[in-house]
Amino acid sequence: MRCACYARYSSDLQRATSIEDQLRVARTYAKQQGWTIDEARIFTDAGISAASMEGRPGLQALLAAAAQRPLPFEVLLVDDSSRIARDIADAIRIMQTLKFFGVRVIYISQHIDSANEAAETLVAVHGVVDSLYLREMAKKVRRGLSGQHARGFATGSITFGYRTVAVPDPSGKLDPNGHPILAGKRVEVNPTEAAVVRQIFEWYAAGSGIERIVSRLNAEGAPGPRGRRWRSGTVRTLLLNEKYRGLLIWGRQSVDRRPGTRQRILRTLPREQWHVQERPELRIIPDDLWERAQARRQDVRRAFDLKPGRNLVRGKNAALHSPHLFSGFLRCGVCGGAVAVVTGGHGSPRYGCITSWRNGRNACSNRLTIRAKIADAHLLAGLRAELLQPQTVQYVTDALAAELNKIIDERPKIRARAEQALKEARRRLANLVAAVEDGSSTPALVEAIRAREGDVRRLEGELSGLADPVERKLAVIPTWVRQQLEDVAGLLSETPERTKAEFRRLGVSFRVSPVQNEGERPFLRAEGTTDLSVLLAGEGLSTTDATPLR
């Protein structure tokens, strides 16, 4: 197979990978397939936005080359579809056009191959993900979650101490497998687990340390959340969960974008702005016990001088070029400054608070460090678990289906435009041909005819693509979403540069705080947020997944 490549660099892309990097991806891919890249057929546009198709000489040259006969290449390799066009309709049209010319298009990073029937839908899905995920999805999902709360149904993963009961849709409709369609799931108290929760609060209020509670629970063989052994992080989170006092809370944080940038700012909202719903039937901990436990917690906090969370958590910093995976995505939970490799050199680099290590203990008391290798693995595992939650798949699927339906609605308009343009191109071609028949054949005229023929062929290609029904292809979405999330979850196999680009896309950020328990070696605890955790979080925008690091 002879391959051509197209690469485009622009800082407006979420994945702003260099042209060299994109071409390296293509070369590696071609090599794996045993194909050759024709160096004369590498088309690039540098520093050009994909917002419009005009003014992109590389893309124009590519289309012109693909229109030639005999075909100069069989396959076009592109890093991902956003390189071709940011606009979904454009990306699909160009792929259809190339397909019509007989060129197979492969978007390597997205595993999309135009030889596959679902390719078009997948491009659309990716386009939707790129354009909407970051801006719109969080809002939509937040709305969706609020709606579910208002109806008293479960959102996100189930909290220890409760269970869900399926509530059939009042319409009595059945799904294709004959099961009743669900209106949602209702939460109720799980008496066995509730007794364990009460016991934990009692022990804590009576003065037991968290580690002591953990060992008692595990010694008694009481199963923890999701049947796992109890860990200190789990107990700590549990003691803070206001659901146990019968309050459902969501919308604790807002995600804003710094104007003119893609930098995300996570703000903790004042408590008056939270959505709080009283649900006395879900109360497991009576108010007096809750108060006693919280009072004890305040004492512990004061003893170790742990400052409560700051109001403003900055998104990411510029440490983009460090080879360490999470450098640039970690913040110190004590001083709010960056956490990056501070010690250990090449042999065994360790993450720590930069402020503390540069400016001393007085600047920041957080002196703990952790081996980068160990932290990276832990943090990735935490992210991975979040991404693969069924709720994530469901929300993304629904949002994508809605967007695709919008595109389908646009098709008659696009078709009418393409038909008009084709008519015009044929008319011009006929005029040119008439001129040649009249005897005025010049090289310029022949060139003009060739160009018009190219136009006609391209438009015919577009129209043939538009004739395909897209509707039935919607069925591929859930599988795709799942595969996509698994791909993101499988980040470890990627190079750090690409992985970090993906982190930026997902708005990954972690706060790393020291935890000191009585009679125990202090350790670092990381709490992370991503736009995805926002999507699937149990309690609206507020939940973070705590991944203890030792």
CB atoms closer than 10 angstroms to residue 281:
10
Of 512, 518, 548, 519, the C-alpha closest to 303 is 518
User: How open is the CA angle 506-92-128, to the nearest 5 degrees?
Assistant: 25
Return the residues of window 303-332 that contact Zn ion according to CB under 5 A. Answer: 332
Return the residues of window 279-308 that contact Zn ion according to CB under 5 A. Answer: none
Least distance in Å: CB of 334 to Zn ion?
4
Q: Does 369 bind Zn ion (CB under 5 A)?
A: no
DSSP E strands, 247-354: 247-250, 253-257, 264-268, 275-278, 312-313, 330-332, 339-343, 350-353
Nearest to Zn ion of 66, 339 (CB atom): 339
| Exposure letters 392-425 (e unless 16+ CB within 10 A, then b) | bbebbbbbbbebbeebeeeeeebeeebeebbeeb
Nearest to Zn ion of 200, 353 (CB atom): 353
Q: How far is CA 253 from CA 392, 399, 528, 541, in A?
A: 19, 22, 13, 6
Residue range at the interface with Zn ion (CB under 5 A); choices 247-255, 273-281, 360-368, 492-500: 360-368
Q: Give the N- to C-terminal CA distance of the chain in Å, as an integer.
A: 51
Q: Which two tokens stand for residue 44?
A: 């690039």
Q: Which of 77, 92, 313, 353 is the binder for Zn ion (CB under 5 A)?
A: 353
Q: Which of 121, 241, 327, 366 is the binder for Zn ion (CB under 5 A)?
A: 366
- 8 Å CB contact between 289 and 202: yes
Least distance in Å: CB of 265 to Zn ion?
20
Mask: binding to Zn ion, 328-347, rule CB under 5 A, as x and -? ----x-xx------------
Residue range at the interface with Zn ion (CB under 5 A); choices 25-33, 94-102, 150-158, 365-373: 365-373
Based on its alpha-carbon atoms, the radius of gyration of the chain, rounded to whole angstroms, reads 28
Least distance in Å: CB of 324 to Zn ion?
17
Least distance in Å: CB of 18 to Zn ion?
33
Distance CA 381, CA 379 (A): 5
Residue range at the interface with Zn ion (CB under 5 A); choices 60-68, 74-82, 356-364, 525-533: 356-364
Nearest to Zn ion of 332, 375 (CB atom): 332
Nearest to Zn ion of 363, 489 (CB atom): 363
Q: Which of 65, 285, 364, 370 is the binder for Zn ion (CB under 5 A)?
A: 364
Least distance in Å: CB of 512 to Zn ion?
9
Residue range at the interface with Zn ion (CB under 5 A); choices 26-34, 125-133, 240-248, 366-374: 366-374
Q: What residue type is assigned to position 143 of the chain?
A: R
Total of residues contacting Zn ion (CB under 5 A): 8
Nearest to Zn ion of 126, 331 (CB atom): 331
Least distance in Å: CB of 343 to Zn ion?
14
Residue range at the interface with Zn ion (CB under 5 A); choices 305-313, 348-356, 488-496, 503-511: 348-356
- 8 Å CB contact between 533 and 545: yes
Least distance in Å: CB of 399 to Zn ion?
37
Of 479, 483, 476, 491, the C-alpha closest to 530 is 491
Least distance in Å: CB of 350 to Zn ion?
14
Q: Cβ neighbours of residue 483 under 8 Å, at least 6 residues apart?
A: 111
Least distance in Å: CB of 352 to Zn ion?
8
Q: Give the residues lining the site for Zn ion (CB under 5 A).
A: 332, 334-335, 353, 355-356, 364, 366
